[in-house]
Amino acid sequence: INKTALQLCDHIISCSPWVANTHRQVEGIPHDKVSINPWGVDSKKFTPTDVEPQGFNVLFVGGDPIRKGLLYLCQALNGVEGVELWLVGCDMPFYGGNKLKVREFGMVEHDRIVDIMRQCHVICIPTLEDGIALAIQEGMACKLVPITSPETSEVFEDKVSGFRVDYQDVKSIREKIIFLRDNPERRKHMSLESRKKAESISWGNTKESFKEVIKCRMG
């Protein structure tokens, strides 16, 4: 059904390069039939707090812990001192680990996620497959430093406003989290860059660029 729908469309607008490449692999879909128009973030709703959060908290948001790579984050954090995993959107699977501090929230209302994000320092979603992770962008708007897989979100610059790690790379995830825990000044600088980047990708910009793509294709 999806293949037929894509073939019947005059044009396809994808939310990320990952999704665009997926569409372009469908038989009969030429490269120029697909445009990329990344989703935005509401940086007026998702805002940081001036109060430094207690401890050092790493946030994971996702309803599918397997696809979102929670296993690799748990393995990375197991035994790391002074770090607590805050888990939103799913229950802790069996691979929690004996030396892993976890605070579980389960499914929460979208408005409540803002308050949770404001109490964290890092958002880590080491996903195996994701077109674009809105939670990453929302966390960035709250000044969280993102750690994620290569193509989860295209909105931040590696080592400037966040870190990208290879798929299933437990060692790299652990190293990045420990680095941010042990280097608060660098983390604060990256969090400012993270917020700045989030402010540049508003839903208003997404709407305007969406309209421009449609106008161009309509002639």
Average of per-residue pLDDT across 92-117 = 86
pLDDT bucket at 133, cuts 50 / 70 / 90: confident
Helix (H), strand (E) at residue 85 = strand 84-88
pTM surpassing 0.85? yes
pLDDT at 121 over 70: yes
Contact assessment for residue 125 and residue 60, using Cβ atoms and an 8 Å cutoff: yes
Separation between Cα atoms, residue 102 and residue 211, nearest integer Å: 43
Lowest mean pLDDT among 2-11, 59-68, 96-105: 96-105
For residue 128, pLDDT beyond 80: yes
Token code pair at residue 143 = 């000044």
Q: How far apart are CA 66 and CA 21, in angstroms?
A: 23
Helix (H) or strand (E) holding 86: strand 84-88
Single-letter residue type at 176: K
- The predicted pLDDT at position 210 comes to 87
Mean pLDDT of 139-155: 87
Question: Mean pLDDT of all residues in the chain?
Answer: 91
**What is the pLDDT confidence band of residue 97, given thresholds at 50, 70 and 90?**
low
Query: Contact at 8 Å (CB) between 145 and 133?
Result: no
Contacts of 123 (CB under 8 A, 6+ apart): 58, 59, 60, 61, 117, 135, 136, 139, 140, 144, 145, 146, 147
> What is the separation, in whole angstroms, between the first and last Cα of the chain?
28
Over 90: is that where the pLDDT of 147 sits? Answer: yes
Dihedral angle sign, alpha carbons of residues 160, 104, 64, 76:
positive
